[in-house]
């Protein structure tokens, strides 16, 4: 009988095999994985647990918070704060740094996360996810300041997402490729089901919120117009389009069968550089996409090279199959 590899075993083996041999990292990731299992359970219960719907409150981005946004944020902080691996946390749902309570030990990592990405989908029972990024804490304060989180994506030690879909999956990288695990609810463990995930270099599928078309810049206008023109257009082939409005679901689809995802720069609101947030959406997803052989860019710069200026900074995102992202980048360069 073939015994399945659990994520716990996998991450421990990965550290044993690596030069860093960092025993703290699998411990921290284990706590993140537990938080994701608790969130999976809450999301799966849906209306049965009375947690559907919105609150009166807004988050720092001025977005109405869903009840589950707040609950899943608490699940994350409370599951992980006492583990002793963290110097601090930051999240989409908290204005400032979350300081580890004084009674708990401190560690050498920073954790940045979006506890429930795509939460507008929750009330209509469409896939949502959790995104996380692990950075090394380079200071020595018991209460790290927001500025100490502002490291470019290239500094990430690990990144991953949990996808609460028709099954719950966890996809993770520690800089050594990308591996996918499926939650076996019978044993309560994530089991390795998608080893060595890679993004096909070519694709005929694009994802963009086309209701923003009138606000896009010329290179994106050109790219989408050419895709829609299909076989008789300059690209000489028909394209398909998808938009889930759940970045985790879109990135997962791209990891499985290729594709390009864009939430590009637009002129809808000149105060915003894009919609998606650099630290806890774009950076972890870009780390995963690059580790799987894809590309991720703002259109002008590799996302992982962007020097963050704020915890909740927004950034344009164009990511996915290498050859297709290169087409969009060449249109930006020409423009
Ligand atoms: P959220 O973190 O508030 O859920 O927002 C991020 C989500 C992404 O998952 C998704 O790609 C995008 O917002 C969808 O935006 P739109 O509703 O404009 O299509
Ligand atoms: Mg989000």
- Domain of residue 41, CATH code: 3.30.540.10
Report how far residue 291's alpha carbon sits from residue 198's, in angstroms, rounded to the nearest whole number.
8
Residues 259 and 172 reside in one and the same domain: no
**What pLDDT is stored for residue 123 in this prediction?**
87
Residues 254 and 151 reside in one and the same domain: no
Instruction: Give yes or no for a contact between 52 and 46, defined as CB atoms under 8 angstroms apart.
Output: yes
Residues 222 and 243 reside in one and the same domain: yes
What tens-digit pLDDT sequence spans the chain (335 residues)? 888 999 999 999 998 888 777 889 999 999 999 999 999 999 998 877 777 777 667 777 777 777 888 999 999 999 999 999 999 999 999 999 999 999 999 999 999 999 999 988 988 999 999 999 999 999 999 999 999 999 999 999 999 999 999 999 999 999 999 999 999 999 999 999 999 999 999 999 999 999 999 999 999 999 999 999 999 999 999 999 999 999 999 999 999 999 999 999 999 998 998 999 999 999 999 999 999 999 999 999 999 999 999 999 999 999 999 999 999 999 999 98
Atom of ligand 1 nearest to the CA of 276: 6
Domain final position from 159, 194, 229: 194
Structural domains counted in the chain: 2
Domain final position from 149, 167, 194: 194
Q: Name the residue of 60, 246, 250 whose CB sits within 8 Å of the most ligand 1 atoms, as the mutation to test its pocket.
A: 246
Q: The domain containing residue 93 runs over which residues? A: 7-194
Query: Which two structure tokens, joined as six digits, stand for 126?
Result: 């469409």
In a domain, 1, yes or no: no
Question: What is the 247 CA–ligand 1 centroid distance (Å)?
Answer: 7
Question: What is the 334 CA–ligand 2 centroid distance (Å)?
Answer: 31
Domain final position from 174, 194, 214: 194
Instruction: Give yes or no for a contact between 65 and 58, defined as CB atoms under 8 angstroms apart.
Output: yes
In a domain, 200, yes or no: no
Report how far residue 25's alpha carbon sits from residue 13's, in angstroms, rounded to the nearest whole number.
12
- Beginning with the edge strand found earlier in the chain, give each strand of the sheet holding 179-184 in spatial order: 86-91, 109-117, 128-136, 158-164, 168-173, 179-184, 189-194
CATH number, domain containing residue 246? 3.40.190.80
In a domain, 2, yes or no: no
């Amino acid at each position: 009988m073939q015994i399945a590899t659990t994520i716990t075993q996998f991450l421990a083996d990965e550290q044993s095999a690596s030069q860093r041999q960092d025993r703290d990292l699998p411990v921290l990731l284990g706590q993140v994985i537990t938080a994701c299992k608790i969130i999976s359970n809450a999301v799966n219960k849906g209306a049965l647990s009375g947690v559907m719907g919105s609150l009166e409150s807004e988050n720092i981005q001025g977005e109405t918070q869903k009840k589950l946004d707040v609950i899943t944020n608490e699940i994350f902080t409370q599951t992980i704060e006492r583990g002793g691996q963290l110097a601090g946390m930051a999240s989409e749902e908290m204005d400032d740094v979350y300081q580890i309570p004084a009674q708990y030990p401190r560690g050498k990592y920073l954790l940045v996360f979006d506890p429930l990405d795509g939460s507008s989908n929750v009330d209509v029972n469409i896939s949502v996810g959790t995104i996380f990024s692990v950075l090394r804490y380079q200071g020595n304060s018991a209460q790290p300041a927001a500025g100490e989180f502002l490291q470019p994506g290239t500094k990430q030690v690990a990144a991953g997402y949990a996808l609460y879909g028709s099954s719950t999956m966890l996809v993770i990288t520690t800089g050594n490729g990308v591996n996918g695990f499926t939650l076996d609810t019978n044993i309560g463990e994530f089991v390795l089901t998608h080893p060595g995930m890679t993004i096909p270099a070519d694709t005929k599928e694009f994802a963009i919120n086309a209701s923003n078309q009138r606000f896009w810049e010329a290179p994106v206008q050109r790219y989408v117009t050419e895709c829609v023109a299909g076989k008789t257009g300059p690209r000489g082939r028909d394209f398909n389009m998808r938009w889930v409005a759940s970045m985790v679901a879109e990135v997962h689809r791209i990891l499985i069968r290729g594709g390009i995802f864009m939430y590009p720069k637009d002129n809808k609101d000149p105060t915003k550089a894009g919609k998606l947030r650099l630290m806890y959406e774009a950076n972890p997803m870009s780390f995963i996409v690059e580790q799987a052989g894809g590309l991720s860019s703002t259109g002008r710069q590799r996302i992982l090279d962007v020097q963050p200026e704020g915890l909740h900074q927004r950034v344009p995102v164009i990511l996915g199959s290498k050859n297709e992202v290169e087409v969009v980048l060449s249109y930006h360069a020409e423009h």
